[in-house]
Structure 1
Amino acid sequence: MATLTRATRIRNPALFICDLQEKFRNVIYEFPKVITTTTKILRATQSLNTPIYLTTQNRARLGDTVSELTPYLSPSQPSQNSRLKADIDKTLFSMITPEMDKLLPNPSRQGEQALDAILVGIETHICVTQTTLDLLSRGHRVYVIVDGVSSANAEERAVAVQRLRDAGATVTTSEGVLFEMLGDAGHAAFKQVSGVVKETKEETRGALEALARI
């Protein structure tokens, strides 16, 4: 088992999207706000070429990934490589299935760098929790996006988020993580990222009001 690495500054980001599927629309607390946050992150990280790891839970029964995300899961131009590194259907609650595990770097091996896993999705106390714990146990750093995770019962979120913070994950916001990825207003992607942040200002405020009180 790899040594647990506490999250510090983001160095090797990857976006993990956990089980944001059609059948959950009317089940999950503030589900539309989770989708708007995830869409914002997907849009803002296009110019950063941040890799994406995505899962669904029993897709045949619970549906495909929500349609709002699909435009951002394929290259914007034919000449570009896809950012989507995994699109895995699962029955495990954790995203870290054996198939997914093979696709991730192994920090215990020389030359393989730990990921800064930026995690959004559902449900906070089940799949998000188990994914976080599995990533941490493998030596990756995890950033749980508080305005991008939810559960059917709102009360489960706070308990889970506190547990994950205690376990070594960093709990942060979508805007905080985006600007940390940039690190410098002189970054080539600053204009594109800050433009998305400004454009989604009202949606972000609504998501934080609903989801950041833990």
Structure 2
Amino acid sequence: MAATPLRTLSDICDLQEKFRPAIHEFPRVIATAQKMLRASQILDIPVFATTQNRARLGETCSDLRLDVPGGFATKIHADKTLFSMWTPGVKTFFSSGQKHAVVIVGIESHICVLQTTLDLLREGHKVYVLADGVSSCNKEEVPIALARLRAEGATVTTSESFLYECMGDAGIAEFKEMAKLVKETKESTSQTLQALCKA
């Protein structure tokens, strides 16, 4: 990121098809995850993804197009029974001791997103939780989880704010493509903010 020497990573937490009918505004979370995947490709940000107990809860939503021809490649796309994404496989990627800036989208805000964030913070990483990219079965859980994460030291922000912070400068080579992405997703972003980030 422009303002920090930290390497940026993107985490997609447990966005599985079986959760679609249960999660508050699930299609909006998917829309933000899709935007972040496109941005990660443009800005060359490594992507980590997890499923929660895939045998019972199924695969990652196919509309995210993870690890399929013509889709988005992940550094790790792992199954877990832990609630946190901080699994042994993920830890090996972080074993160099280098600190990272990690952006998280996914579910559920008060369980897997929260526990992943706490683990990353404990290890000294900077964590961005996207308020327009996380949700829970019970919508009332979300603001409580985000308030706790702020208190614990995470940066709670929005996808657009995070992407401009990543770029830092309109003079970078990727800016034109990123500006196009922001323009193309403007309506969806506005609808998502209204649905997930009501005061």
Name 1:169's counterpart in structure 2.
154
Q: Tell me how far 1:49 sits from its aligned partner.
A: 0.9
The letter of the residue matching 1:13 is T
Q: What's the TM-score, normalizing by structure 1?
A: 0.87
State yes or no: 1:140 paired with 2:138: no
Q: Which has the higher helix share?
A: 2
Per-residue Cα deviation, 1:10-43 (whole angstroms, up to 9, x for no partner): 5421000100001001000000000000101111
* 1:161 Cα offset (Å): 0.3
1:31/1:19 CA distance change after superposition, 3 Å? same
Q: 1:125 aligns with which of 110, 117, 125?
A: 110
Matched with 1:202 is: 187
Q: Which runs of 5+ in 1 are unaligned?
A: 1-7, 108-112
Superposed CA offset, 1:41-86 (max 9, x none)? 111221211001110001111111101111x546859xxxx85111
Backbone CA RMSD of aligned residues: 1.8
- CA distance 1:123–1:9, change in 2 (3 Å): farther
User: Does residue 59 in structure 1 map to residue 49 in structure 2?
Assistant: no
Instruction: Output the TM-score relative to the length of structure 2.
Output: 0.93
Tell me the residue number matched to 2:172. Answer: 187
| Aligned pairs (5 A) from 1:88-127 | 88-107=78-97, 113-127=98-112
Aligned amino acid, residue 190 of structure 1:
F
Superposition deviation, residue 213 in structure 1: 2.6
Whole-Å separation in 1 of the counterparts to 2:77 and 2:150: 27
Cα offset, 1:9, TM superposition: 4.2
The Cα offsets for residues 93-151 of structure 1, whole Å up to 9 and x where unpaired, read as: 000012211122453xxxxx211000000000000000000000001000000000000
Which of 14, 17, 38 is the aligned partner of 1:19?
A: 14
Separation in 1, partners of 2:179, 2:131? 20
Q: Which moved more, 1:113-122 or 1:97-106?
A: 97-106
Task: Answer yes or no: is the 8 Å Cα contact 1:49–1:83 preserved in 2.
Answer: no
1:35 to 23, 30, 51: 30
Is the CA contact 2:40–2:47 (under 8 Å) kept in the aligned structure 1? no
Which residue number corresponds to residue 139 of structure 2?
154
- Check conservation: 1:105, 1:115, Cα contact below 8 A: no
Residue 42 of structure 2: SS of its match in structure 1? coil
Q: Secondary structure at the match of 1:84?
A: coil
Give yes or no for contact 1:50–1:83 (8 Å, CA) kept in 2.
Answer: no
- The one-letter amino acid paired with 1:91 is T
Long gaps (5+) in structure 2: none
Q: Percent identity?
A: 54
Rounded Cα–Cα distance in structure 2 between residues aligned with 1:74 and 1:26:
24
2-structure distance, mates of 1:145, 1:99: 24
State the partner residue of 1:87: 77
CA displacement 1:148-201 (0-9 Å, x = unmatched): 000000000000000000000000000001111111111100011110110010
CA distance in 1 between counterparts of 2:22 and 2:61 reads 14
- The aligned length equals 197
